[in-house]
Amino acid sequence: MSRHTGYASLPLHGGRAPAWLFGRMVRLSREIIVYLASEYSTHEVLRRLSDPYWFQAFGCVLGFDWHSSGVTTTVCGAVKEGLKDLDRELGLFVAGGKGRTSRKAPDEIAASCEIAGRDPRPLVHASRTAAKVDSAAVQDGYQLYHHAFFFTAKGDWCVVQQGMCDDNRMARRYHWLSEHVASFVDEPHEAVCCDARGQLTLNLVAHENDPVRRASAELACERPEVTLNAVGRVLTMPRRHELLPELDVASPYLEKILLKTYERRPENFETLLGMPGVGPKTLRALALASELVHGTAAAMRDPARFSFAHGGKDGTPFPVDKLTYDKTIEILNKAINRSAIDRSEKVKAFRRLAAFGGPERPAPHDQQPRLFRHLAQATPRQ
């Protein structure tokens, strides 16, 4: 099966979702997630959240902007809020969030694992490594400020995180799915959706950069002066692009960090990446040095490839219809919670929901059920 590398770029919008909308987003997202978990599985919920096209359609069904960075933080926040009292029963948990909340992810994972009776260490490692990859190993100019970690009682997980670029005021979303992560440092992302592509992106988790990763790990085990001398020589040579020592390598601290890596001797790039203090500048210095010492030039490929568009809360292509929204929540809730009816009747009820407010309703509101139908009838990827 072919896979793409997962990113989504969106313009940064200020402000917050209005309270009347966010409260409805919480309720509707809960009903949709519970329905998907009961009809398919909690793992299928992870697969859909990790698909940026489905995620974007999900945000539009919830009534948010199609092209706003806020769709990531608000949708993840709504799902987390909606599931907080159902996670034990459902076997689906959410950790992290925006800003300082993102740094609480390891503790929240540990607390949920205590409920689920699982060892939290592999999940905490996955959360931390995904964040470290997209903040240090993928150097695309976007600084992470949002990290949401979704996982099941069985130990499956997905990540939806986002970074912001100060230069173009765009936000880029990164998707991960444990099912397809054979290596945290070799094409680990899930799906691609992005409008803005960088000219100079040091993507150290690109498959073609495996020699650079190996060489960087080897150099990290050498005495600091080996790397420092190589970096000094590289900086005096003509380069493909402008290279500024004070910006591109951690000059005041690099020797101290390299001394730590020399003492610890990381066995591979993933171990090197996980070491405290090893950030984008250290990795960039090692990559530059490896080109001179080992002849392994890093490929500068931005993995962003595709784009998308839908509709949302700011009235494009239609304003949120509160009556339809509330009716949607009510019908979906009934479809899920009527325990006396069998699976086929539940499916029929959900189809009635998809058809609610069909062609007989006047434009523009008749567009909303079609968006919902697109989301509801999305088939799992094979």
The whole-angstrom separation of Cα 356 and Cα 325 is 11
Q: Are residues 10 and 113 in the same domain?
A: yes
Q: What is the pLDDT of residues 59-114, one digit of tens each?
A: 888 876 545 557 888 999 999 999 998 999 999 999 999 999 999 999 999 999 99
Listed residues 294, 328, 361: the one ending a domain: 294
Q: What is the DSSP code (8-state) at residue 102?
A: G
Q: Are residues 185 and 216 in the same domain?
A: no
Give the pLDDT band of residue 381 (cuts 50, 70, 90): very low
At 338 the pLDDT is 60
Which residue range forms the structural domain that includes residue 250?
207-294
Three-state DSSP class for 148? Answer: strand
Q: Are residues 367 and 271 in the same domain?
A: no
Sheet holding 157-165, edge to edge: 7-11, 170-177, 157-165, 143-152, 92-98
**Residues 120/100, Cβ–Cβ less than 8 Å:** no
Q: Which two tokens stand for residue 262?
A: 């020399």
| Residue 68 phi, psi dihedral angles, 5° rounding | -105, 145
At 362 the pLDDT is 38
**Residues 310/57, Cβ–Cβ less than 8 Å:** yes
At 297 the pLDDT is 82
Q: Are residues 193 and 276 in the same domain?
A: no
Q: Are residues 20 and 115 in the same domain?
A: yes
Helices and strands (DSSP H and E) totals, the chain: 16, 7
Q: Are residues 13 and 131 in the same domain?
A: yes
Q: What is the pLDDT of residues 343-357, one digit of tens each?
A: 566 556 555 555 554
Q: Are residues 66 and 101 in the same domain?
A: yes
Query: Which residues lie closer than 8 Å to 378 by C-beta, 6 or more apart?
Result: 48, 54, 57
From first CA to last CA, the distance across the chain in angstroms is: 9
The whole-angstrom separation of Cα 277 and Cα 264 is 13
Alpha helices in 84-223 (DSSP H): 87-90, 105-116, 121-132, 210-220
Instruction: Point out which residues pair with 21 in neighbouring strands.
Output: none
Listed residues 251, 273, 294: the one ending a domain: 294
| Residue 2 phi, psi dihedral angles, 5° rounding | -75, 145
Q: Are residues 68 and 30 in the same domain?
A: yes
Q: Are residues 365 and 234 in the same domain?
A: no
**Residues 249/285, Cβ–Cβ less than 8 Å:** yes
Q: Which residue has the higher pLDDT, 117 or 365?
A: 117
Q: Which two tokens stand for residue 346?
A: 């539940």
Listed residues 260, 275, 294: the one ending a domain: 294
Q: Are residues 65 and 180 in the same domain?
A: yes
The whole-angstrom separation of Cα 131 and Cα 283 is 15
The whole-angstrom separation of Cα 247 and Cα 251 is 9
At 140 the pLDDT is 87
Residue type, 349: A
Q: What is the pLDDT of residues 310-341, one digit of tens each?
A: 334 444 444 556 776 677 677 767 766 664 44
pLDDT at 212 over 70: yes
Mean pLDDT (the chain) is 78
What total of structural domains would you count in the chain?
2
Alpha helices in the chain (DSSP H): 19-39, 42-49, 52-61, 70-83, 87-90, 105-116, 121-132, 210-220, 224-235, 245-248, 251-264, 269-274, 280-294, 322-337, 343-355, 367-376
Q: Are residues 133 and 102 in the same domain?
A: yes
The whole-angstrom separation of Cα 334 and Cα 319 is 26
Say what percent of the chain tops pLDDT 90: 44
Give the pLDDT band of residue 194 (cuts 50, 70, 90): low
Neighbours of 121 (CB within 10 A): 12
Q: Which two tokens stand for residue 12?
A: 């940064």
Q: Are residues 379 and 324 in the same domain?
A: yes
Task: Among 86-95, 234-243, 285-294, name the most confident range.
Answer: 86-95
Give the pLDDT band of residue 300 (cuts 50, 70, 90): confident
